[in-house]
Amino acid sequence: MTEETETHFSAARSVLRIVMTSPNPETNPETTTLPAPSLPDIRNETRSTLAHQFSLWNQPGYRLEQLLDWLYCRRVETWDAMTNLPKSLRSQLASVWSLGALSLLRKQGSKDSTQKFLWRLKDGSLIESVLIPANPALYGDSADRHTLCVSTQVGCAYGCRFCASGLDGWKRNLAPWEIVGQILGVERWHAEQNPSEKPTAADKISNHRLINNLVIMGMGEPMANYDNLMMALRSLNAPWGGGIGARKITISTSGLAPKIRQLADEPEQFRLAISLHGATDAVRNQIMPVNRKYPLSELSQACSYYLERKGKMITLEYILIDGVNDAIAEVKPLSDLARRLHAKVNLIPYNTVEGLPWKRPDEARCQKFAETLTRSGVTCTLRLEKGHDIDAACGQLRLKTERELAATSAITGSSIDQPEPES
């Protein structure tokens, strides 16, 4: 049975209030004085920077371990919840850093237990995360337990023709803590549903991770927010932070060749996935504007460099779009590219997006494409998309909710109702 839970009316009212009361100095002189800048979030910090501050405060080392346990294992949202830290230390922390949390605005659950989370950020922006349950491995070496698809930007500037994420353009990059906060937020939600699984002080962080696989392919182009993303992933990978193995973290890109090379030179063994969706420049130029700046020749050279430096198999993501890239004639260039890069291919039937002309091929056509590709000697997975009934296309739930809120705000004096639950 499809499940959808949403916050109370106040959450939607808060989003609308931010939209309706944004200051305009020309029409509202009283708003020209800007508020004091907010404190940086503590989860933007590394262990070393926190250790330095604790040293300046003459705090013993074990206090830092207690703090990190509260932040990443217990996932608390307030300083007062850190009950084994002295009140004086909690006050010092609160004077230097904020401790934010993403607000869950909507949650949809599909019939196959895929869960989509819509988060409201402090500035009212909306982003999505998708929790994918136990599944034959798509990106790692063994069967996944719980994989979270994570967003890195509000909107997207790259304008892939078939994608909902960029339909309203790009707004901003996510801060490191907002990327980390998606993992902590989903796990906090899960813990609330399963109170018996609450970790104790003796538990290791990695033993109490609901999420042990990350795919960085939600809203936005991850490589366009490279520095913030790497800060977040290093915290999530570190034993003192998320404790998620680097080989369980896959970063996707639509084809930013220079950033692929930069990733190849990083010490961490993060995996790479390419949002390919076309194995010729003709197809990619039609649906992916980034290909005009970084055509397939340049993209494949960057992938070869990554392979040479890391020795790890690359995944080629290939969304099957009816009448665009699903013809059997497209198998040979895809096969040639995959073999040249020693890559595996993940075929994904298109999730339709309201307002866009693209369609999902029928299942038989998808199966035939996959079988032909497999016979060519390429390792191939056909993902009969989990979550097809929950606005599963990236950015779709966010776009739908923003338009509902905008339509409501246009009705003078109307109250804000919760969006109708999807069936």
Q: What are the pLDDT digits (tens) for 148-169?
A: 999 999 999 999 999 888 788 8
Rounded CA gap, 123 and 137, in Å?
Answer: 36
Token digits of residue 305: 């460099």
Is residue 40 included in any domain, yes or no? Answer: no
The CATH number of the domain where 360 resides is what? Answer: 3.20.20.70
Token digits of residue 338: 């995959």
Give the Cα-Cα-Cα angle 23, 29, 34 (nearest 5 degrees).
Answer: 55
Rounded CA gap, 251 and 238, in Å?
Answer: 17
Pairing relationship of beta strands 3-6 and 315-320 according to DSSP bridges: unpaired
Is residue 81 included in any domain, yes or no? Answer: no
Q: How many domains does the chain have?
A: 1
**Which of 45, 73, 128, 160 is an active site residue?**
128
Task: Return all residues near 370 (Cβ < 8 A) that are at least 6 apart.
Answer: 347, 380, 382
Of 213, 287, 207, the closest CA to residue 251 belongs to 213
Is residue 277 included in any domain, yes or no? Answer: yes
Is residue 115 included in any domain, yes or no? Answer: yes
The reported pTM is: 0.84
Rounded CA gap, 230 and 167, in Å?
Answer: 26
Q: What DSSP state is assigned to residue 273? A: E
Torsion on CA atoms 247, 251, 254, 256, rounded to nearest 10: -100
Place of tokens 């590709």: 373
In this prediction, residue 386 carries a pLDDT of 52
Is residue 56 included in any domain, yes or no? Answer: no
Token digits of residue 164: 């909902």
Of 202, 197, 230, the closest CA to residue 216 belongs to 230
Distance of CA 64 to the CA centre of its chain: 28
Q: What DSSP state is assigned to residue 150? A: -
In this prediction, residue 133 carries a pLDDT of 81
Give the Cα-Cα-Cα angle 356, 167, 421 (nearest 5 degrees).
Answer: 75
Is residue 289 included in any domain, yes or no? Answer: yes
Supply the range of the domain harboring residue 369.
103-409
The upper half-sphere exposure of residue 392, i.e. CA atoms within 13 Å in the direction of its Cβ, equals 21
**Which of 149, 303, 380, 394 is an active site residue?**
394
Token digits of residue 202: 């003796």
Is residue 403 included in any domain, yes or no? Answer: yes
Annotated active-site residue 178? The verdict is no
Instruction: Tell me the torsion sign for CA atoms 392, 395, 397, 400.
Output: negative
Q: Which residues of the chain fall short of a pLDDT of 70?
A: 1-37, 110-112, 134-144, 197-208, 385-395, 399, 403, 407-423
Is residue 421 included in any domain, yes or no? Answer: no
The pLDDT tens digits for 350-394 are 988 888 899 999 999 999 999 999 999 999 999 875 545 555 566
Annotated active-site residue 394? The verdict is yes
In this prediction, residue 166 carries a pLDDT of 78
